[in-house]
């Protein structure tokens, strides 16, 4: 069955409210009231078996009685009556049903919810909700919510998984004079999710910023693909709940969704160019700012201030939010000396000193605006005896407009008493980005730059890596025959070899003679390891011998290993002895690829040993990744300097690590029957000397398919 175009959800020509009530205290009444009061440009049909009139509109006893096709039907009847209502909607060829009613998966009633969605989809309908407060869409002026009647029109679209928070956000948007282009409550996300909504909101001309409150991700792979493209078009701000362990439990019980692990979520959102806000206030600040600000043309920012202290705080915040401060002292002096007193400073921050008047700011801002070297400005002021609201307010307004025209972002911050607060409030309501707290101002500029950088970056070039499919399949053959959910060490090694990942030379010997012969062929020193599916921890029982330098040592070790196994694990079936090249020591790296329950295939990298075990110093990305992204993952590690060489050591072979990361990722994607691949460790040598995957663990998907 084909699915309706998402445009009909946001721009329906006809809307039915099923469960429209005559009682003004009921949700079914409020929704009709909001639709009517907001001047919806389409036609609205209340539906209620009692018939009659609601707010002057004739009430249809059933949807069948409506004389035309319905694009959107809002369902506001008790949960137990929803399925039947959905059936009636399907019979009337409704395109979208919005189920306001609660009482489904959020309270464990998953079966009913699934039944409804399955029926709807079979009949070509899509479902928003259940458990939602509705939808607002500016284009047809449709307020189909039971939230506030007045929704300020504007350019920010909000998508929210929490209903109560969504209603509160409408109120907050109004209070902050942040206009909305849409607000959609996704509730239990039984069918329509954030990704579907982005299909409309990303190209929607009136939407400049999309703000998403998200608790759990269901189809992360699809979301990632969409977000990567969407963030190149417009800023996407996300507030993710459920970051802390307690928060995750609350979020899961709240919507029945599984919250993704915080680190994975944050890393993947960054990869997609999404701006992750720490709080609702931060998300609002960013959204409002980004909806009005122009994009910068370069990275260089200048702070203009009348107070040293606030300049220092702003400088620290710039470092934290990755805002680059322009530091060509000669040019800065040339630009700002004419309006800076001798006891001030033309080094960035430009300190106009406590005696600065609105006129000084005017001159400094004009100079910054005309300079080709400066791309954005933070204008800060602390209240002094010279502060005069009557001259500061027009100065700020004038400069804001002039900067917009000059395509240069500007953010203001003013700190002081009542008069300053009144001034900031008034200007904020006019849409001018001015904050009492300088850190908030810097964080907005930081968000803008994060978006700007993502847009300016070329799209990652994902190299196709192909594998010989038949050889890959052979590796899994005996695991499949034996019903194993993992590969044996030598199988895992063979898999890596086929993927072009360097592994130590090795062979499996079944006799003493073979063991010695293989050792000679491989070259000393060698390592011997027992091969047995019954012995998992080989070293613990003396099943491993290292540093064997000649044939005699190999023969002795062979005997010792078999003796140890017989003593400690007499019942173990021994398949042979693995003889492998003993690799010299180097920096240890761990590389893992697995299928995340929320995001699908993801890659992880970290330095081995204490770095990963104690410091949890790892980075993540959703697959596939480019070489540049793999390199960025390494640079994100706190322990990255170790790879660059510390205390006179040579730089490590970073290209080899990147290459193995890309190959492990491609391998996981190629082998649909693999759940998890982990190389631990990849021993990495000096630059140009390569590396070696010494140990690998490969887990298979239970009941999985062939690669």
- Residue numbers of the site for ligand COA (CB under 6 A)? 18-19, 21-23, 26-28, 47-50, 76-78, 81, 85, 100-103, 131-133, 163, 185
Beta-bridged to residue 605, according to DSSP, are: 591, 619
Residue 470 CB coordination number (10 Å): 8
Q: How far is the CB of 127 from ligand COA (least distance, A)?
A: 14
Between CA 400 and CA 441 the distance in angstroms is: 14
Omega before 683 within 30 of 0, i.e. cis = no
| Residue number, 214 or 519, with CB nearest to ligand COA | 214
Tokens of 151: 């929704």
Pick the closer one to ligand COA by CB: 145 or 381. 145
Q: Which residue's CB comes closest to ligand COA? A: 163
As a whole number of angstroms, the distance between CA 189 and CA 548 comes to 60
Q: Which is nearer to ligand COA, 85 or 285 (CB)?
A: 85
| HEC per residue, 270-300 | HHCCCEEECCHHHHHHHHHHHHHCCCCCCCC
- Say how many C-beta atoms besides its own lie within 10 A of residue 705's C-beta: 8
Task: List, in order, residues 6 or more apart from 14 with CB less than 8 Å away.
Answer: 42, 43, 44, 45, 66, 68, 69, 70, 71, 72
Is the Cβ of residue 135 or residue 658 nearer to ligand COA in the bound state?
135
Nearer Cβ to ligand COA (255/515): 255
In the Cβ-directed half-sphere of 594, how many Cα atoms lie within 13 Å? 15
b/e string for 47-70 if b means 16 or more Cβ within 10 A? bbeeeeebbebebbeebeebeeeb
- Give the shortest CB-16-to-ligand COA separation in angstroms: 10
* Identity of the residue, 60 or 275, whose beta carbon is nearer to ligand COA in the bound complex: 60
Judged on CB neighbours under 10 Å (0-12, 13-18, 19+), 655 is: middle
User: Order of strands across the sheet with 544-548?
Assistant: 506-509, 576-581, 526-531, 544-548
Identity of the residue, 100 or 156, whose beta carbon is nearer to ligand COA in the bound complex: 100
Q: How far is the CB of 14 from ligand COA (least distance, A)?
A: 17
For the CB of residue 48, give the shortest distance to ligand COA in the complex, in Å. Answer: 5
Nearer to ligand COA (CB atom), residue 130 or residue 707: 130
Q: How far is the CB of 295 from ligand COA (least distance, A)?
A: 35
**Residues 337, 343, 347, 353, CA torsion sign:** negative
Whether the CA torsion 230, 232, 238, 240 is positive or negative: it is positive
Dihedral of the alpha carbons of 466, 468, 469, 470, in degrees to the nearest 10: 180
- Minimum distance, C-beta of residue 21 to ligand COA, in the bound complex (Å): 3
Smallest gap from Cβ 135 to ligand COA, in A, equals: 12
CB of 64 to ligand COA, least distance (A): 11
Count CB neighbours of 38 within 10 A. Answer: 20
Least distance (Å) from ligand COA to the CB of residue 49? 6
Closer of 36 and 389 to ligand COA (Cβ): 36
- Residue 12 C-beta: closest distance to ligand COA, Å: 19
What is the closest distance, in whole angstroms, from the C-beta atom of residue 102 to ligand COA in the complex? 4
- As given in the structure block, the two tokens for residue 217 are 């991700």
Closest to ligand COA by CB, 103 or 500? 103
| Distances, alpha carbon 460 to alpha carbons 405, 456, 623, 664, in Å | 32, 12, 12, 18
Return the number of the residue (185 or 305) whose C-beta is nearest ligand COA.
185
Task: Output 148 or 704, the one with its CB closest to ligand COA.
Answer: 148
Cβ 244 to ligand COA shortest distance, Å = 23
CA 167 → CA 51, 132, 143, 171, distances in Å?
Answer: 30, 10, 12, 7
> In angstroms, what CA-CA distances link 364 with 308, 318, 335, 434?
16, 20, 8, 18
């Amino acid at each position: 069955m084909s699915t309706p175009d998402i445009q009909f959800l946001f721009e329906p020509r006809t809307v039915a409210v099923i469960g429209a009530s005559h009682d003004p205290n009921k949700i079914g009444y409020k929704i009709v009231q909001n639709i009517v009061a907001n001047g919806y440009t389409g036609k609205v049909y209340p539906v209620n078996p009692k018939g009659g009139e609601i707010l002057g509109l004739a009430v249809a006893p059933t949807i069948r009685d409506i004389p035309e096709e319905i694009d959107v039907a809002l369902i506001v009847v008790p949960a137990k009556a929803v399925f039947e209502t959905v059936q009636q909607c399907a019979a009337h060829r409704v395109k979208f049903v919005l189920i306001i009613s609660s009482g489904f998966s959020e309270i464990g009633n998953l079966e009913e919810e699934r039944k409804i969605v399955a029926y709807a989809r079979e009949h070509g309908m899509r479902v928003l909700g259940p458990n939602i407060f509705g939808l607002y869409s500016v284009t047809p002026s449709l307020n189909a919510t039971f939230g506030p009647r007045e929704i300020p029109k504007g350019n920010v679209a909000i998508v929210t998984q929490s209903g109560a928070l969504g209603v509160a956000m409408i109120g907050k948007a109004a209070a902050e004079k942040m206009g909305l282009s849409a607000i959609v409550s996704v509730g239990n996300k039984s069918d329509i999710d954030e990704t579907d909504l982005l299909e409309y909101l990303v190209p929607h001309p009136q939407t400049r910023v999309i703000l998403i409150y998200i608790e759990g991700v269901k189809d992360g792979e699809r979301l990632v693909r969409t977000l990567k493209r969407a963030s190149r078009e417009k800023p996407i701000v996300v507030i993710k709940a459920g970051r802390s362990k307690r928060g995750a439990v609350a979020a899961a019980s709240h919507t029945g969704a599984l919250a993704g692990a915080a680190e994975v979520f944050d890393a993947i959102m960054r990869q997609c160019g999404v701006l992750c806000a720490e709080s609702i206030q931060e998300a609002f600040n960013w959204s409002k700012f980004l909806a009005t600000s122009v994009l910068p043309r370069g990275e260089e920012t200048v702070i203009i201030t009348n107070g040293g202290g606030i300049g220092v705080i702003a400088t620290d915040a710039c470092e934290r939010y990755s805002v680059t401060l322009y530091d060509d002292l000669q040019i800065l002096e040339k630009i700002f000396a004419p309006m800076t007193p001798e006891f001030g400073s033309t080094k960035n921050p430009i300190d106009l000193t406590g005696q600065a008047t609105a006129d000084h700011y005017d001159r400094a801002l004009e100079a910054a605006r005309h300079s080709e070297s400066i791309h954005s400005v933070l204008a800060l002021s602390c209240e002094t005896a010279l502060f005069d609201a009557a001259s500061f307010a027009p100065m700020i307004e004038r400069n804001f407009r002039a900067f917009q025209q000059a395509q240069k972002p500007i953010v203001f911050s003013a700190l002081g008493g009542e008069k300053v607060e009144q001034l900031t409030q008034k200007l904020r309501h006019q849409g001018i980005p001015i904050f009492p707290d300088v850190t908030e101002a810097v964080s907005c500029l930081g968000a803008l730059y994060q978006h700007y950088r993502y847009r300016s970056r070329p799209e990652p070039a994902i190299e196709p890596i192909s594998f010989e499919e038949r050889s890959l399949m052979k590796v899994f053959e005996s695991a499949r025959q034996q019903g194993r959910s993992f590969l044996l060490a030598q199988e895992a090694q063979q898999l890596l070899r086929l993927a072009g990942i360097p592994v130590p030379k090795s062979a499996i010997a079944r006799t003493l003679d073979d063991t010695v012969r293989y050792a000679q062929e491989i070259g000393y020193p060698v390592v011997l390891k027992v091969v047995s599916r019954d012995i998992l921890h080989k070293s613990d029982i003396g099943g491993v011998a290292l540093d064997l330098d000649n044939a005699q040592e190999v023969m002795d070790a062979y005997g010792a290993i078999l003796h140890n196994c017989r003593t400690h694990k007499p019942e173990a079936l021994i398949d042979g002895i693995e003889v492998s090249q003993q690799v010299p020591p180097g920096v240890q790296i761990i590389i893992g690829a697995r299928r995340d329950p929320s995001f699908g295939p993801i890659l992880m990298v970290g330095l081995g040993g204490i770095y990963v075990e104690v410091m949890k110093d790892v980075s993540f990305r959703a697959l596939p990744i480019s070489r540049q992204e793999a390199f960025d993952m390494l640079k994100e590690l706190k322990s990255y300097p170790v790879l660059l060489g510390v205390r006179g050591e040579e730089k490590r072979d970073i290209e080899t690590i990147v290459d193995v990361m890309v190959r492990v990722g491609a391998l996981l994607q190629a082998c649909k029957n693999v759940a998890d691949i982990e190389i631990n460790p990849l021993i990495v040598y000096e630059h140009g000397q390569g590396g070696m995957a010494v140990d690998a663990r490969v887990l298979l998907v239970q009941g999985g398919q062939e690669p």
